[in-house]
Structure 1
């Protein structure tokens, strides 16, 4: 079940992440030029509504369609989604996430149904008219039926959330967010839930707290600071480097193993995150767009005028609370763990993750062969996988070895790679997407036993 949720989150990420530059551009335009912005401009402010109404949902639909059915899926995905946009009074982000892939799936099924049945010389006319006719039908159906349905459902969800916020329960979202994040479901939470809500909220107010409820880097910073001061073994040694990657680089996956190695630390994360949300809510602050990656630099860059104090206080409060609680647990701990990898294995056993233990056993004997193409993978193929690929590539160069080491999303790994490196919590999903490729699982992107074994194997085979 978790693997399916991770895959779903990965698909949402693949739709949204390539568009984040456009989202940030819209956020900057909003922050700068609306009447309450830094440099109000009536002319430039006219860009805000068309971008949020047409450009951004169509980009999402285009990416979603392309992922399902290539270029034809991308085109028909935008056609089908355009009906939603014109037929509704809200920014159709959720609709684009549905209609783009759905339209592409329909054209993909059509193409498969007529495969081998089109006479020579008629391929182009069939291809063009099929997209045109099916696109017409989808556009009309989405305008008259799907759009109003999504709009009604969206209004219902927003009303529930508004009531939730009015009752002061928003910090309780941390109880769901933090466990989901450390199980690598962070993209399901962010791209699937909070970003669409945040964009709709930002249309009305120019900012949204929903961009901050799961992305606050403060709680993770507090946890890593506690390990830096009161941790043991490799956990203590690796934590300072992890702070830079997490807080400045915005790659939150780097702190997940620290929670998995000592599950009680999830209480520190929940408390820190909830405190941050409470401060944000009390100070009535928000961001103008989703901070991707979740770096403090992204937070500050996307903070609108008049919100800096509340944003900084929220991050600082989350840091302080998680640090205090995590430090308390570390001080009273009787554990004698030697390194983060060993403790992570112990925590997985406590969670009864038998499948990962089996895979870890398989990794004790990494195959001896000539490696020429290594893929580091994660959900989006951007954060932790990019970090891992970069660091491993430097280790190979230091050994005088030059081979391809690249980062990818799990479902986008080229067939010609020799080995895939992935966090163990993503093994099941990676194996399902790449059943014929050797997989090496790791627990820590900075220093991992299996990575060291892989490096030794490559060095031996190169000599």
Structure 2
């Protein structure tokens, strides 16, 4: 059989670099959208032209929130993305210096333009300051005399924050003030000359190729916030977020499309328009690039409508759902809402009409291609995921089976009988992922399929399917190019697992006459009982770590105390984390050493720590940290049980609600017991 899906992750190229840059900007802005919404509501209600004018709130809440608070929390978010809490603190102080610098520049020109809000400055200084702090910490990591770590950490962060604040005051403030004046002048020219709708020529194609985040969060949002702080609303919040063009093209496919694209368009329209997930319409446009003309004309007509009516949004609409757009519009006034809705209707209508003409003109040719077996839409879905740079569950739902998943093309001679879940060391994440996948395979009735776990270095040519974390897929391909390779992100409940089950079923349909091999044990043998691996003394509900690094150290210390590893194992755990994250999904991380560190393992043991507040683990919330030391496979049985628990959200909630260590041990020990 042949698995037809395409591995969507692509590396290199200017487009990918812009995508990553835009995604990073989005990561700083999106978590803080609720704060922008709160500010927008305050502005709409209490400014002099609002329904409840209040000078005190306007001067001492609305103004400070937009000028100080919002840039500072954006900087803190960017700093945390780079270097957790330590990076966030340094980034916040540095951005305070930039805000002060911009105010000082504005004060030098009496009756001149006001100081720009330092959103762009926050997005520059936030990650930059955290990176500087992280780089310096690496220089003296492991070189500080015992007992002086806290002193060095505190003073080094304070000195870096001080220096970066000066850099923000003297350099970044100047740069951002200049950038905002240039952008403001350019935008003012477009608005005054009536040319703002031409921005759709750039924005609409950029959206389809996932280049819009850099433009939207890097330029449009800062400009929109600046304008909204002065006038109470901004048209810039609607240049990219207007759901009208996407709705128009999906309606055109609903009436005039062919095949899968026509069948899926109505559902996609609901997801796009009410859910605000714009990416769902991108494959439809990519399948027929001529439709970019419809998107540009529809987007431009919506911008023109808002420009003529003088309407806009009071704060960013995220996601770009009609519900979010209407909420941000009505915060300004009811009449403003009417105008914004009119722009959505106009843009959807124009897009629909132009797209309908294009689709009808090519309908005969499209029907002929479909009859010939061409899958233009499936290819467009794969290309859209490649443009995005990662898999999307929404996009995967547009086409069936493995074709939308992270499955690499490969040819199999017969039915799938052996699946291997591979990771760097072959003893931690792979064991847990294999347990979850094994249960799904058994529940589907394929008891003759073995699902095991291995280190990538130990892979041979025998597996039919190899499942890896996406960062490790290329390495696995080099070892076994003839297998089907599946990439996953979330080890506990990845949608890829269901695709693997379907792949197994398809392999049986493709080779019905093949004799099924005798069932074999799916779970690897264990050298020690689960009770020997996880004990009450190795579970705590009162850990003290606040960062990922500290949590890894706590897990290592617990394993050392259990007599399972040497103190050097902690360094191997950090080395493993630097290679690929041990975040598993569903609030769980399982730090463990590298394959080369097996010599530091004295016995199999597992430690469990439940944290009272989430720890940021590469941007993901973690409440449970399970430290792993595996000797001769003795940890695998309990890992299988843990994987089964954490793949069930109800069981995770039970663990969160467990009153003490004994209750946690009872839950983990009872699975498959």
The DSSP-based 3-state class of the residue aligned with 1:307 is helix
The DSSP-based 3-state class of the residue aligned with 2:55 is coil
Q: Which moved more, 1:145-154 or 1:241-250?
A: 145-154
Aligned: 1:2 with 2:15: yes
User: For the Cα contact (< 8 Å) 1:79–1:136, is it kept in 2?
Assistant: yes
1:274–1:85 distance in 2 versus 1, CA, 3 Å: same
Distance in 2, matches of 1:6 and 1:108, equals: 24
Distance in 2, matches of 1:456 and 1:346, equals: 20
Task: Choose from 139, 150, 155 the match for 1:124.
Answer: 150
Aligned: 1:362 with 2:388: no
Distance in 2, matches of 1:65 and 1:74, equals: 4
Aligned: 1:86 with 2:105: no
Matching residue of 1:343: 376
Matching residue of 1:212: 238
1:76–1:141 distance in 2 versus 1, CA, 3 Å: same
Q: Which moved more, 1:165-174 or 1:270-279?
A: 165-174
1:455–1:153 distance in 2 versus 1, CA, 3 Å: same
Residues 332-387 of structure 1: CA deviation (Å, up to 9, x unaligned): 11212549992135669999x99999x988345699637799xxxxxxxxxxxxxx
Distance in 1, matches of 2:336 and 2:255, equals: 32
1:41 Cα shift? 3.2
1:90 Cα shift? 1.8
Distance in 2, matches of 1:199 and 1:44, equals: 18
Q: How does 1:37-436 map to 2 (within 5 A)?
A: 37-45=50-58, 46-88=60-102, 89-303=115-329, 304-305=332-333, 306-333=335-362, 334-336=365-367, 337-338=369-370, 342-344=375-377, 362-364=408-410, 369=419
The DSSP-based 3-state class of the residue aligned with 2:145 is coil
Q: Which moved more, 1:333-342 or 1:29-38?
A: 333-342
1:32 Cα shift? 1.8
Residues 105-135 of structure 1: CA deviation (Å, up to 9, x unaligned): 1111111111222111111000000111111
Matching residue of 1:404: none
The DSSP-based 3-state class of the residue aligned with 2:210 is helix
Distance in 2, matches of 1:187 and 1:180, equals: 9
Distance in 1, matches of 2:467 and 2:181, equals: 48
User: For the Cα contact (< 8 Å) 1:252–1:294, is it kept in 2?
Assistant: yes
User: For the Cα contact (< 8 Å) 1:363–1:440, is it kept in 2?
Assistant: no
User: For the Cα contact (< 8 Å) 1:370–1:458, is it kept in 2?
Assistant: no
1:418 Cα shift? 5.3
Distance in 1, matches of 2:222 and 2:472, equals: 29
The DSSP-based 3-state class of the residue aligned with 1:302 is helix
Matching residue of 1:408: none
Matching residue of 2:667: none
Higher helix proportion: 1
1:82–1:435 distance in 2 versus 1, CA, 3 Å: farther
Which of the pair has more CA radius of gyration?
2
User: For the Cα contact (< 8 Å) 1:291–1:299, is it kept in 2?
Assistant: yes
1:155 Cα shift? 0.9
Distance in 2, matches of 1:117 and 1:15, equals: 33
Matching residue of 2:24: 11
1:186 Cα shift? 2.4
Aligned: 1:456 with 2:487: no
Q: Which runs of 4+ in 1 moved over 6 A?
A: 348-351, 353-357, 370-373, 432-437, 458-463
User: For the Cα contact (< 8 Å) 1:431–1:439, is it kept in 2?
Assistant: no
1:75 Cα shift? 0.6
1:221–1:196 distance in 2 versus 1, CA, 3 Å: same
Matching residue of 2:580: none
Matching residue of 1:405: none
1:451–1:250 distance in 2 versus 1, CA, 3 Å: farther
The DSSP-based 3-state class of the residue aligned with 1:369 is strand
User: For the Cα contact (< 8 Å) 1:211–1:287, is it kept in 2?
Assistant: yes
User: For the Cα contact (< 8 Å) 1:371–1:458, is it kept in 2?
Assistant: no
Task: Choose from 22, 30, 48 the match for 1:35.
Answer: 48
Distance in 1, matches of 2:283 and 2:50, equals: 40
1:195–1:433 distance in 2 versus 1, CA, 3 Å: farther
The DSSP-based 3-state class of the residue aligned with 1:116 is coil
1:284 Cα shift? 1.1
Aligned: 1:23 with 2:36: yes
Q: Which moved more, 1:101-110 or 1:29-38?
A: 29-38
The DSSP-based 3-state class of the residue aligned with 2:142 is coil
User: For the Cα contact (< 8 Å) 2:90–2:161, is it kept in 1?
Assistant: yes
1:17–1:141 distance in 2 versus 1, CA, 3 Å: same
1:308 Cα shift? 1.5
Distance in 1, matches of 2:68 and 2:476, equals: 41
1:452 Cα shift? 7.5
Distance in 1, matches of 2:235 and 2:315, equals: 10
Q: Which moved more, 1:213-222 or 1:342-351?
A: 342-351
Equivalences, count:
408
1:223 Cα shift? 0.5
1:291–1:370 distance in 2 versus 1, CA, 3 Å: farther
1:360–1:93 distance in 2 versus 1, CA, 3 Å: closer
Give the CA RMSD over aligned residues. Answer: 3.7
Distance in 2, matches of 1:132 and 1:4, equals: 33
